[in-house]
Every structure is written in structure tokens, then in C-alpha cells.
């Protein structure tokens, strides 16, 4: 996860001026709007929450993400510690931080071992400190469209994975979400294509957008899947259907195209973008050619800085949830 998040910040720095027909929205602009909410919630806590990052690899992308996290924490009144450990010692280090009351949140910079062992490491971080929202309970609730850990009292909101939530916040910022509609249905009528179905970003993002009412097509090398709550979004949660569609079949009718292909040579075909579409890239590579600005109405070339603000937002939510749990016990 950290690899994808870290490298996505590389595109946040400089971009060519677009034609007047296309608005380029930079991640830092959206991040600033979110930081005001973060600062307001930080004031309510009255202290500097401690985020601990564990780095157990030599991946330059993970190092970059750790550096960005440290800088953002320092600039915004959060405490941050980077703990570099051998990968053989990582499990014990995470368990120790789980039981350390001074630690408010934990992030592990992956990959470490790769494959199933990394998935195991994601699950040993206690849910109350899982700032990335990767614990089984969070993921289960996300796919089931359950938005609270305590649906009866609604004092503890579920955390969502940082990069998918960053894309959602960008879509809210640029007005793709229709605020006239009820919360949870605000993408009704929108068609979205996502070129990425990773377990870290693409698949969760498709589920979240479909749960908010969108008609979502998830594309990877195996084909196209359709995520939907059905006609009139009458279903409580999304369903997934395999299709025989090709990329051009779904992209050409999409209001939004989101790409996350971590390959330098990949470029989304311009001829598959309908006039006026919104195009967002969360990959570390530039998935769109510069000519996308001649076709898209809004273009977001990178999302890294938004992702890191979401990390801080999630950290504050963890603290709020712990306080909510304490109040529930007292009552």
C-alpha cells in the first residue's frame, strides 16, 4: 500500500497549464480544504496525537511515503515516530505498539515479505490503532456498506482505507457527489470506470463508489466487472457481476475515469474518454497523456497529498472512536 501511496505524491509537484476547457485540480488544493477539518478536530483533542510508522524494507517508495508523512505531521501539530526494524522483528514491534498507551495510531510501510505474510501483518495491528483501515472488521463493514462500528448508537464511525477515501474526497470536492440527494445515494446516476482492481485500492474503491449509488465498472487484465446496487439503487449494498465488456464499452459512457496502473508504459487511450469526463490518476506513473486536457472537463493528475491528510483524519477518528467506546461503557 505504502508503495502506491508514496509514489503517487511524485505527480503532485508540477504540471503544464491546461487549455481553458479543462480544469486541472491539484492534490494540494484538495488537501488544504481537508486540513481545516483536521485542525478543528485536533483542537478538540487538545494534544498532539502520536502516529508510529514501521519501516522494515529498503523500498524507496516506502521511504518517500514515510518522509511525506513525517513532514505533514510536523506541519500540522501531530507527533510522529519512524521506527526502523528488521523484518524478522516487525511482528513483535507491532504487538508492542498495540499495548503502548502513548501510541494513538500505527502504520506499516509495505511491502515487507510480500504476499500472504504481509496480509497477516496487516491484521495484527489492533483495530483501535489501525490508521489505514485495513483490519478485517473495517473491510467487512466497508463491503457490506455498514458505516458504523456501533450501528445502534452511531458513536463510532468505521475507518476506510486511505487511498480509496482520498479519491472519494476529491470527487466530493469537485462536485461529482450530488449533495441534494440523501447521504449514501449521492452518486446515483453517475457511471464510473476504474482501471485497477487491487485489494488495496481498486476493489475497495469500486465497492465504496457503488455503495454510494454509482454504476461502477472495475477493469483489470482479467476483464471488466460491474459493481452496482441495481436499478433505482434499491439494494442496501452493492453486488458484483462479471461481464463480457471491453474497456472501450464502459469507458466511453463514463462520467468519471479513475486510473491506477503502476506501469510507466501504460497510457489510458484518449479515444476512450468521452468529452467532459472527469479523469483522476492515483498511480505513481502518469496514466494519462497531456492531451487528456483537451478531452476532460476536470483532470486530477495525482492524489498523494490528499492521501496523507486522510491518514491524519483517520488518526483523529481512531481517538474519537475510543472516546465513544468509553462513553458507551459508562452509560
Q: Which residue numbers are catalytic?
A: 162
Q: What is the DSSP letter of 113?
A: S
Q: Quick one: cell of 328?
A: 458507551
Cell numbers for 181, please give them.
Answer: 440527494
Q: What kind and span of H or E run contains 309?
A: helix 304-330
CA contacts within 13 A on the Cβ side of 62:
17
* Residues whose CB is less than 8 angstroms from the CB of residue 295 and which lie 6 or more positions away in sequence, other chains included: 22, 270, 273, 274, 275, 277
Cβ–Cβ under 8 Å, residues 259 and 280: yes
C-alpha span between 291 and 313 (Å, rounded): 34
Q: What is the CA radius of gyration of the chain?
A: 19
Residues 6+ apart with CB under 8 A from 172: none
Measuring CA to CA, which residue among 170, 249, 177 is closest to residue 214?
177
Please, are residues 321 and 157 in contact by the beta-carbon 8 Å criterion?
yes
Q: Which of 132, 104, 135, 128 is nearest to 41 (CA)?
A: 104
Cell numbers at residue 257, please?
A: 475515469
Query: Residue 249 corresponds to which cell in the numbers above?
Result: 464499452
Please say whether the beta carbons of 131 and 153 come within 8 A: no
Unique residue bearing C-alpha cell 496502473: 261
In angstroms, the CA 322 to CA 331 distance is 14
CA distance 309 to 302: 14
Neighbours of 94 (CB within 10 A): 22
Amino acid at each position: 500500500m505504502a508503495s502506491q501511496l508514496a509514489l503517487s505524491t511524485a505527480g503532485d509537484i508540477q504540471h503544464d497549464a491546461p487549455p481553458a476547457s479543462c480544469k486541472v485540480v491539484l492534490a494540494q488544493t484538495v488537501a488544504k480544504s481537508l486540513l481545516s477539518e483536521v485542525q478543528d478536530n485536533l483542537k478538540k483533542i487538545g494534544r498532539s496525537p502520536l502516529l508510529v510508522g514501521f519501516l522494515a524494507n529498503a523500498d524507496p517508495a516506502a521511504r518517500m511515503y514515510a518522509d511525506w508523512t513525517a513532514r505533514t505531521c510536523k506541519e500540522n501539530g501531530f507527533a510522529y515516530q519512524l521506527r526502523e526494524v528488521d523484518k524478522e522483528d516487525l511482528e513483535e514491534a507491532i504487538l508492542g505498539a498495540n499495548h503502548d498507551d502513548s501510541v494513538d495510531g500505527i502504520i506499516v510501510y509495505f511491502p515487507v515479505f510480500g504476499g500472504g505474510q504481509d496480509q497477516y501483518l496487516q491484521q495484527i495491528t489492533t483495530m483501535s490503532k489501525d490508521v489505514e483501515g485495513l483490519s478485517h472488521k473495517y473491510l467487512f463493514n466497508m463491503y457490506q456498506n455498514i458505516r458504523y462500528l456501533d450501528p445502534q448508537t452511531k458513536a463510532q464511525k468505521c475507518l476506510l482505507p486511505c487511498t480509496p477515501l482520498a479519491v472519494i474526497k476529491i470527487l466530493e470536492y469537485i462536485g461529482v457527489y450530488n449533495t441534494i440527494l440523501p447521504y449514501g445515494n449521492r452518486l446515483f446516476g453517475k457511471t464510473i470506470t476504474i482501471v485497477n482492481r487491487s485489494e488495496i485500492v481498486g476493489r475497495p474503491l469500486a465497492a465504496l463508489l457503488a455503495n454510494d449509488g454509482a454504476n461502477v465498472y472495475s477493469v483489470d487484465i482479467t476483464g471488466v466487472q460491474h459493481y452496482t446496487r441495481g436499478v433505482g439503487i434499491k439494494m442496501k449494498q452493492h453486488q458484483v457481476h462479471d461481464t463480457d465488456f471491453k474497456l472501450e464499452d464502459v469507458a466511453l459512457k463514463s462520467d468519471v475515469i479513475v486510473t491506477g496502473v503502476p506501469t510507466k508504459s501504460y497510457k489510458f487511450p484518449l479515444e476512450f474518454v468521452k468529452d467532459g469526463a472527469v479523469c483522476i490518476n492515483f498511480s505513481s506513473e502518469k496514466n494519462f497523456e497531456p492531451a487528456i486536457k483537451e478531452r476532460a472537463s476536470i483532470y486530477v493528475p495525482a492524489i498523494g497529498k490528499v492521501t496523507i491528510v486522510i491518514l491524519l483524519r483517520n488518526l483523529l477518528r481512531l481517538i474519537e472512536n475510543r472516546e465513544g467506546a468509553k462513553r458507551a461503557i459508562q452509560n
